[in-house]
Amino acid sequence: MPTDTLLVVSIKKQIMFLYNGGQCVKAYVISTSKLPPSCIENSLGTPWGLHQVSEIIGSNCPMGTVFKGRVDTGYLFRELPPEEQEKNLITTRILRLKGLEHGKNLGGRVDTYSRYVYLHGTNHEDKLGKPASSGCIQVSNKDAVELAKLVPVSSFLIILKDEQIGD
């Protein structure tokens, strides 16, 4: 069952708004894909449209935990060798997304869930505010912890490709 919580992502502005009960309660600086938005598999673009948070992973992990294949590796990103730290890692928390619009972000070659597109923490917080990911929505590790507490599973998340918010 859907919740009263809604996340609205503006790819254009690299910002995400958290709504609760119809009221905007917070804005988060994010990073979406460094490539153009895309819903097609292997494009590495951030998909647009209506999504739902299907799962929250890592709720009991320390901040900075690195995940591979949605599994805690047992390492914090600062503990990894420099060449690993250069990579764009999935850290702290994962809010796994499921597309809800058949033919746009659900089913076949456009399925957000099977593309493993998440909202997650990043080891490159200095790049937040500009496109830097491989398709996911990245937030600071502190914000990832907060969002995992504030956003229940089944909450809606809408990703806006070109639209402007607040203009």
Residuewise pLDDT in 10s, the chain (167 residues): 668 999 999 999 999 999 999 999 999 999 999 999 999 999 999 999 999 999 999 999 999 999 999 999 999 999 999 999 999 999 999 999 999 999 999 999 999 999 999 999 999 999 999 999 999 999 999 999 999 999 999 999 999 987 655 44
Residue 161: predicted pLDDT:
87
Q: What's the pTM value of the predicted model, to 2 decimals?
A: 0.94
Residue 3: predicted pLDDT:
80
Q: Report the CATH superfamily, name and number, of domain 5-160.
A: L,D-transpeptidase catalytic domain-like (2.40.440.10)
Match 């979406």 to its residue by tokens.
32
Residue 1: predicted pLDDT:
67
Strands (E), the chain: 5-10, 15-20, 23-29, 49-57, 65-68, 71-76, 90-99, 118-121, 137-139, 156-160
